[in-house]
Chain A
Amino acid sequence: MKIADGLKLIEDGWIRKPKGFRVRFHKQTEAGVEAGLSPPHEAAPLSSDVTAWRYAWKLWQATQAAAETGAPGALYNITVVDDQDRPFRFYGSGDFETYNPKPVNDGNGTTTGDSNAT
């Protein structure tokens, strides 16, 4: 195997490099709970997971009061996903974290809402 082939193998198989990040959440509306992404699929994703996690944390803080009462606008199960919508580990702890976890049914199946976020 040539060095170039070896490097290609390493590049493809060692550590997956996401192309971007989004914040995924469930939003309480008048009609029920809807799944959402920010930024949406039509827009360019965030290039940094640090920024994405900070954004997720701020969304959690901003909607905490609404989430306690279950008012419309409350956000649940806020987490960061990669470009393929797979949950992305929090860089600080190396774990999958979810802010404001709550078991909800958004029509796509029930989310358990487990989290170790503090």
Chain B
Amino acid sequence: MQNEMSRLQMLGDTMTQHGTQMALALAILILGLLAARWMHNSLSQGIRKRYPKNKLALLMCNLLYGIIVIIVIMGTAVEFGAKPVNLLRLLTIIALVVTGVAIFLKPFIPTMPFKVGNTVKAGNLLGKVEAITFLNTRMKTFDGKTFFVPNRQILNDIVMNYQFTETRRLKIDVGIRYDQDLLKAKRTLESIMIEDPRVKTKPGPMVYVLNLASSSVDLGGRCWVDNKDYWVARCDLLEKAKLRFDSEGIKFAFPQLDLHINHDRIKAGGSFCPAPGGLVGPGAREASDEENI
């Protein structure tokens, strides 16, 4: 009991000696922080309105806020009795340690392989990066969903950044029937790509015969476009290819099987089913004694 009484007396003495100082220091701290916060909010709102895409201005605003907070804390400490010289020394030491650690650790800190605004595929997600924070990355998919992906998960997965390079190769693959004019189809497809202003001249567009498939001759058009134009250019070129081939009279292929009926076998009381090898691809079309259905 006596112990507690002596403690209370000590507190009372302290309050009598330093009470005004403490109250003043506390007032400086609270008012200073509130004022700094208000200034920061007003300034950043103004900057966002005036320069919506200027990240440097926002960074400077945050830096200014940090400096004001440090000044307020230092003012509070000085008011409380701390010597300004000591505070400055402490501040200098802290700044040097933080800078040194940051420089030393920078090569070991993993960085994200994309920037805000890039279109990326991370894991199963394809979308645009909206924000990168210390813990997660905010991505918006093209159907309007927003995902918050942990950075750890992104760094452990394969990431495809579609905007790492400026240009991207575009594929226009079409299949034409075997009885169509192959060279005309190649020329037509190449013209469609060359005419388009978005298609790069270097490297120029090319058309290859990719495959002699069972029902089609597969042509592959290859050209380069800017990343930003990729999707629309691809859709436009496919649309043009379909319409131009139609107007040029070039027929697209579709999966088909030729059924050959052997009349001699049917007359002899044989099965309607074709002989082994009767159901074949285009190579069998030349058989003259058989009827194509």
Contacts and interface: CB of A to CB of B under 8 A. Distances in A.
Given A48-B233, A48-B236, A91-B240, A19 B197 contact: yes
A93 interface: yes
Interface in A26-57: 47-51
B232 interface: yes
A18 interface: yes
A94 B191 CA distance: 12
Nearest to B237: A50
Contacts of B191: 15
Interface residues of B, number: 18
Interface string A55-76: 0000000000000000000000
B232 A51 contact: yes
B4 to A, nearest CB: 82
Given A48-B233, A50-B236, A50-B239, A14 B244 contact: no
Contacts of A47: 197-198, 229
Which of B195, B229, B233, B239 has the most A CB atoms < 10 Å from its CB? Answer: B195
Given A15-B191, A47-B229, A93 B201 contact: no
A94 to B, nearest CB: 5
A17 B196 contact: yes
Contacts of B244: 91, 94
B247 interface: yes
Contacts of A93: 243, 247
A92 B240 CA distance: 7
B197 A92 contact: no
B232 A17 contact: no
Nearest to B191: A15
Contacts of A50: 236, 239-240
Contacts of B194: 14-15, 17
Contact of A17 (B197, B236, B239, B240): B197
B241 to A, nearest CB: 10
A114 interface: no
A85 interface: no
A50 B232 CA distance: 10
Interface string B228-254: 010011001001100110010000000
Interface string A69-111: 0000000000000000000000111100000000000000000
Nearest to A83: B197
B289 to A, nearest CB: 42
A15 B199 CA distance: 13
A102 B51 CA distance: 48
A19 B199 CA distance: 11
Contacts of A19: 197
B198 A48 contact: yes
A24 B111 CA distance: 50
A89 B71 CA distance: 69
Contacts of B243: 91-93
Nearest to B242: A92
Given A17-B194, A17-B195, A19-B197, 6 more contacts: A11-B204, A47-B197, A47-B229, A48-B236, A50-B236, A91-B243
Interface of A: 7, 11, 14-20, 47-51, 91-94
Interface of B: 191, 194-199, 201, 204, 229, 232-233, 236, 239-240, 243-244, 247
29 contacts: A7-B204, A11-B201, A14-B194, A15-B191, A15-B194, A17-B194, A17-B196, A17-B197, A17-B201, A18-B195, A47-B197, A47-B198, A48-B196, A48-B197, A48-B198, A48-B233, A48-B236, A49-B196, A49-B236, A50-B239, A91-B239, A91-B240, A91-B243, A91-B244, A92-B243, A92-B247, A93-B243, A93-B247, A94-B247
